[in-house]
């Protein structure tokens, strides 16, 4: 450690400046991170504190205006990490910057203050802002999925269970399920946002403040819905980081599964989808190939999201419940990366959805070569021919096996073969030809379901109508929260400009 000379010391307990190694490995990089990510929020906080100091009568209205004016000029280029001048700390750097631009000293500025709640508030404001941005990107992705679903709800395609062709569905039906997952996540994110939207400002070092700060007013001016009720929670808790990254991790899990289906459908064996050349890749050795690496990138990047959550959890696990650098800085070191990764995934996936084309001919051909009506045939045998349900399953399965062995496609029904199969099991059918309609007609197969939420095009349309209303509602909810933040900032600037 070297002796601090030049600027006034920042502490009487530690007289030396940070060492070169400490600055290079820890303080300098973190300073750059905070200047890049958190500076706007530190400035907003300092403005609100200037307004509150004036309300308390600790500083004059003129002092508050001067502080606001100096803060307004601060930017990332103006603040530099200096071990001697500011201990490579953004709060001290901002303090030095403002002091140098005041017409006269303001001795009471920073009285009854701690960096603990400042840092907690700035981090939370960053997290809140990025969460709102992630929700906006997710809304855009969901609406793109919703549009594509509406345009493809009447195209038959095979649906799979256990990696085997199972029943006739449509791309629109599948995408309605994707859209539903997006809406579910948006509701979760909104709940998470509301849960974390409590200002820590005024919590102090851990036990609160000695002056009668109006914490609710300061919270409103920073765009929060409320202040954090318990000061200790304000500075000790970074649980919101774990909650946000958990939501992102769960969403990444779902997106990876959707990407997997698209990769499968885009394979040469299926050929159900296509993307424009601009989103495709080539093989340097096999010129016949058209690859979809964008989907591989999307799926690969979703894997990072739960790892960021685990990083946040392990960074806080088994730590004391109080202010700690370990929790406040190291445990949240990858939060910005998590947000950036999610935004990248959603940007790429939205572009894919906007440019994706379903190949109706390949999907129909797959439906026509697979016996996807076995369930419907068993139902018909029970409801129309009186065959007990479990026995009807046996008859339907036996018929399909026999038809496949005879080289018959689903569109080539053999009523006499079905009559024979049923007769061998003790059942006499009155109208086997009608029963086989369940496996013969692809379009009818898509429309056989009658329950709400089914693959029937009309049921899918009903779901999509409800989802459209939910997207509008959620957009309005997110806009209302953004308006609270904007109104708080505007009120702060107005108060400083008016000298109140």
* Domain boundaries of the chain, sorted by first residue: 15-111, 117-359+459-498, 373-447
What was the pLDDT predicted at 86? 84
- Residue 134's Cβ-side half-sphere holds a number of Cα atoms within 13 Å equal to 31
DSSP-assigned letter for residue 278: G
Mean of the per-residue pLDDT values for the chain? 92
Global pTM value: 0.92
Q: pLDDT tens for residues 92-129?
A: 999 999 999 999 999 999 999 999 999 999 999 999 99
DSSP-assigned letter for residue 281: B
Q: How far is CA 2 from CA 20, 24, 67, 84, 222, in A?
A: 9, 15, 32, 9, 39
- 479/394 Cα distance (integer angstroms): 56
- Residues 363, 368, 372, 378: what is their CA dihedral angle, to the nearest 10 degrees? 150
What was the pLDDT predicted at 1? 35
What was the pLDDT predicted at 4? 40
- 368/370 Cα distance (integer angstroms): 6
- 251/181 Cα distance (integer angstroms): 8
What was the pLDDT predicted at 5? 43
- 124/379 Cα distance (integer angstroms): 56
Residue 360: Cβ-neighbour burial (10 angstroms; 0-12, 13-18, 19+): middle
**CATH class in words for 373-447:** mainly alpha
Q: pLDDT tens for residues 399-414?
A: 999 999 999 999 999 9
Contacts of 133 (CB under 8 A, 6+ apart): 339, 343
Answer for the pair 227, 219: CB distance below 8 angstroms, yes or no. Answer: yes
* Residue 177, beta-bridge partner list: none
- Residue 250's Cβ-side half-sphere holds a number of Cα atoms within 13 Å equal to 12
Q: Architecture of domain 117-359+459-498 in CATH? A: Up-down Bundle (1.20)
- 258/181 Cα distance (integer angstroms): 11
Q: pLDDT tens for residues 12-58?
A: 666 678 888 988 898 888 889 989 999 999 999 999 999 999 999 99
pLDDT in 10s for each residue of the chain, 500 residues: 344 444 556 666 666 788 889 888 988 888 899 899 999 999 999 999 999 999 999 999 999 999 999 999 999 888 888 888 888 888 999 999 999 999 999 999 999 999 999 999 999 999 999 999 999 999 999 999 999 999 999 999 999 999 999 999 999 999 999 999 999 999 999 999 999 999 999 999 999 999 999 999 999 999 999 999 999 999 999 999 999 999 999 999 999 999 999 999 999 899 999 998 888 776 667 766 678 889 999 999 999 999 999 999 999 999 999 999 999 999 999 999 999 999 999 999 999 999 999 999 999 999 999 999 999 999 999 999 999 999 999 999 999 999 999 999 999 999 999 999 999 999 999 999 999 988 889 999 999 998 999 999 999 999 999 999 999 999 999 999 999 999 999 999 999 985 43
What was the pLDDT predicted at 171? 97
Phi/psi at 236 (5° precision):
-95, -30
**Spatial CA neighbour of 380 closest among 435, 422, 451:** 435
């Amino acid at each position: 450690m070297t002796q601090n000379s030049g600027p006034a010391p920042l502490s009487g307990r530690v007289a030396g400046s940070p060492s070169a190694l400490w600055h290079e490995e820890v303080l300098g990089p973190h300073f750059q991170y905070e200047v890049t990510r958190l500076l706007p929020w530190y400035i907003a906080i300092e403005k609100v504190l200037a307004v509150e100091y004036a309300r308390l009568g600790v500083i004059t209205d003129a002092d508050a205006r001067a502080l606001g004016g100096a803060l307004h000029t601060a930017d990332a280029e103006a603040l530099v990490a200096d071990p001697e001048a500011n201990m490579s700390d953004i709060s001290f750097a901002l303090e030095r910057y403002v002091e140098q631009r005041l017409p006269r000293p303001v001795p009471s500025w920073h009285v009854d203050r701690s960096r603990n709640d400042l840092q907690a508030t700035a981090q939370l404001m960053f997290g809140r802002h990025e969460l709102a941005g992630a929700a906006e990107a997710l809304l855009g992705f969901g609406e793109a999925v919703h549009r594509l679903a509406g345009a493809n709800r009447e195209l038959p395609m095979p649906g799979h269970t256990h990696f085997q062709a199972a029943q006739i569905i449509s791309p629109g039906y599948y995408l309605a399920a994707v859209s539903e997952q997006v809406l579910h996540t948006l509701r979760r994110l909104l709940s998470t946002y509301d849960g974390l939207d409590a200002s820590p400002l005024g919590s102090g070092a851990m036990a609160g403040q000695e002056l009668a700060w109006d914490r609710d007013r300061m919270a409103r001016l920073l765009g929060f819905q409320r202040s954090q009720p318990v000061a200790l929670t304000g500075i000790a808790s970074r649980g919101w980081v774990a909650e946000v990254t958990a939501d992102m991790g769960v969403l990444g899990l779902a997106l990876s599964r959707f990407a997997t289906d698209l990769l499968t459908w885009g394979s040469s064996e299926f050929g159900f989808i296509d993307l424009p050349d601009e989103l495709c890749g080539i093989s340097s050795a096999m010129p016949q190939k058209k690859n979809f690496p964008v989907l591989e990138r999307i799926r690969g990047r979703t894997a990072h999201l739960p790892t960021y959550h685990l990083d946040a959890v392990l960074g806080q696990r088994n730590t004391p419940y109080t202010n700690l650098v370990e929790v406040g800085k190291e445990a949240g070191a990858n939060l910005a990366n998590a947000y950036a990764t999610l935004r990248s995934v959603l940007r790429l996936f939205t572009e894919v959805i906007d440019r994706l084309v379903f190949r109706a001919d390949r999907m129909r051909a797959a439906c026509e070569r697979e016996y996807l009506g076995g369930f419907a045939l068993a139902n018909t045998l029970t409801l129309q021919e009186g065959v007990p349900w479990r026995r009807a399953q046996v008859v339907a399965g036996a018929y399909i096996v026999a038809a496949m062995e005879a080289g018959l496609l689903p569109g080539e029904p053999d009523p006499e073969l079905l009559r024979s199969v049923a007769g061998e099991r003790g059942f006499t059918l009155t109208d086997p030809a009608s029963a086989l309609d369940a496996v013969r007609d692809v379009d009818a197969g898509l429309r056989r379901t009658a329950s709400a939420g089914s693959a029937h095009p009309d049921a899918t349309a009903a779901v999509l109508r409800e989802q459209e209303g939910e997207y509008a509602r959620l957009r309005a909810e997110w806009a209302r929260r953004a308006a609270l933040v904007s109104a708080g900032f505007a009120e702060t600037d107005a108060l400083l400009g008016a000298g109140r």
